[in-house]
């Protein structure tokens, strides 16, 4: 059983809001007073996850710096065994995901509107109130699981707060979760210590890679319809033939799969 993870190619999407040690917005914004230390916390969680992947039998690990514009890792402190994607990739949110056996969503957060979830939002914290995919309200877990699912790649592990882990269990079957904190508020919670959080991430990643083959991909039925309800009045995308305006604050797009549909938004 332990050698089932042998020769796996693993992709890690690393967001910031669900990283251990992070529980306020000044930590995830480059002009925030706590941002520089939070970059270290992100880098350490990434290293712990990579270490676990190789312990579980991974052959190759690629990590995307997936928060905001994607320039947050402390590059010279990253694990030498992996490769890293930083900055923009306009054509693909998860580049070449079809070449991987499993995807890990590290440091993710619960969907917009989740009570007592640390830094909850969906894609755009200022603009998006609610988001649905084929009529089901969801967040970034389902979006990224859906993109990987377009290519039959499973989400093997997720890390973040307790609300995120609960959301994962509602959407994904068999995905391992590393709960590194418990949310009390959008900006507040109970955090594991650094060593405990890293041990948990490392061990969960090891088990996830070792059991990679048993976890099923998340498939979203085609055609995919995505509906966005915005927080306040915005300039609606009139005249775009891919967009259907539902009302002054709601519009939707449809496409053949999750990845294609997301690009239309
Ligand atoms: Zn983020």
176 near 169, Cβ under 8 Å?
A: no
Residue 253 lies in a domain: no
Residue 23 lies in a domain: yes
Distance, CA 89 to ligand 1 centroid (Å)? 16
Residue 68, phi then psi, degrees to nearest 5: 50, -125
Residue 209 lies in a domain: yes
Convert the pLDDT of each residue in 106-148 to its tens digit: 999 999 999 999 999 999 988 899 999 999 999 999 999 999 9
Distance, CA 239 to ligand 1 centroid (Å)? 30
pLDDT at 197: 98
Residue 234 lies in a domain: no
Residue 240 lies in a domain: no
8 near 36, Cβ under 8 Å?
A: no
Residue 250 lies in a domain: no
Q: What crossing angle do the helices spanning 162-171 and 140-150 adopt, rounded to 10°?
A: 40
Cα 210 from Cα 79, distance rounded (Å): 20
- Please list, in sequence order, all residues whose beta carbon lies within 8 angstroms of the beta carbon of residue 259, skipping any fewer than 6 positions away: 92, 93, 146, 147, 150
**DSSP assigned state of 110:** P
What's this model's pTM, rounded to 2 decimal places? 0.96
pLDDT at 104: 98
Residue 20 lies in a domain: yes
Cα 32 from Cα 38, distance rounded (Å): 10
Convert the pLDDT of each residue in 243-254 to its tens digit: 999 998 999 999
pLDDT at 125: 87
Average pLDDT, the chain: 95
Distance, CA 71 to ligand 1 centroid (Å)? 12
| C-alpha atoms less than 13 angstroms from C-alpha of 76 in its C-beta half-sphere | 0
| CATH number of the CATH domain containing 37 | 3.40.50.10780
Distance, CA 2 to ligand 1 centroid (Å)? 33
Convert the pLDDT of each residue in 44-101 to its tens digit: 999 999 999 999 999 999 999 999 999 999 999 999 999 999 999 988 999 999 999 9
Owning domain of residue 71: 2-220
Distance, CA 262 to ligand 1 centroid (Å)? 17
Distance, CA 121 to ligand 1 centroid (Å)? 9
Distance, CA 17 to ligand 1 centroid (Å)? 5
Closest CA relative to residue 205, chosen from 84, 70, 55, 79: 55
> Structurally, how many domains does the chain consist of?
1
Convert the pLDDT of each residue in 169-192 to its tens digit: 999 999 999 999 999 999 999 999
Bridge-based pairing state of the strands 58-65 and 8-14: parallel
Hey, is 244 helix, strand or coil? strand
Longest Cα separation, the chain: 55
Distance, CA 5 to ligand 1 centroid (Å)? 29
Distance, CA 1 to ligand 1 centroid (Å)? 34
Distance, CA 119 to ligand 1 centroid (Å)? 9
Convert the pLDDT of each residue in 202-260 to its tens digit: 999 999 999 999 999 999 999 999 999 998 877 778 888 889 999 989 999 999 999 99
pLDDT at 6: 81
Pair of tokens at residue 92: 């693909």
Distance, CA 67 to ligand 1 centroid (Å)? 4
pLDDT higher than 80, residue 156: yes
pLDDT at 3: 54
Residue 43 lies in a domain: yes
Convert the pLDDT of each residue in 6-27 to its tens digit: 899 999 999 999 999 999 999 9
Distance, CA 157 to ligand 1 centroid (Å)? 17
Cα 139 from Cα 141, distance rounded (Å): 6
pLDDT at 114: 97
């Amino acid at each position: 059983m332990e050698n089932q993870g042998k020769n796996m190619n693993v992709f890690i999407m690393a967001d910031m809001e669900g990283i251990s040690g992070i529980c306020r917005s000044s930590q995830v914004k480059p002009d925030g007073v706590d941002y520089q230390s939070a970059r270290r916390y992100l880098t350490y969680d990434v290293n712990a996850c990579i270490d676990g992947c190789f312990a579980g039998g991974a052959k190759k690990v690629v990590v995307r710096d997936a928060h905001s514009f994607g320039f947050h890792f402390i590059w010279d402190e990253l694990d030498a065994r992996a490769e890293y994607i930083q900055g923009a990739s306009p054509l693909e949110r998860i580049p070449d995901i079809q070449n991987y056996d499993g995807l890990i969503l590290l440091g993710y957060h619960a969907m917009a509107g989740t009570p007592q979830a640390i830094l909850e939002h969906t894609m755009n914290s200022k603009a998006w109130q609610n988001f649905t995919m084929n009529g089901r309200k969801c967040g970034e877990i389902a979006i990224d699981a859906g993109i990987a699912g377009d290519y039959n790649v499973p989400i093997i592990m997720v890390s973040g707060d307790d609300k995120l882990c609960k959301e994962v269990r509602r959407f994904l079957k068999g995905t391992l979760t590393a709960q590194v904190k418990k949310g009390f508020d959008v900006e507040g919670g109970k955090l594991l210590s650094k060593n405990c959080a890293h041990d948990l991430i490392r061990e969960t990643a090891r088990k996830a890679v070792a059991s990679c083959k048993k976890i099923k991909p998340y498939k979203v039925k085609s055609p995919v319809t995505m509906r966005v309800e915005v927080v306040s009045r915005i300039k609606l995308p009139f005249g775009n033939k891919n967009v259907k305006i539902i009302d002054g604050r709601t519009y939707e797009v449809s496409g053949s799969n999750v990845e294609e549909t997301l690009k239309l938004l």
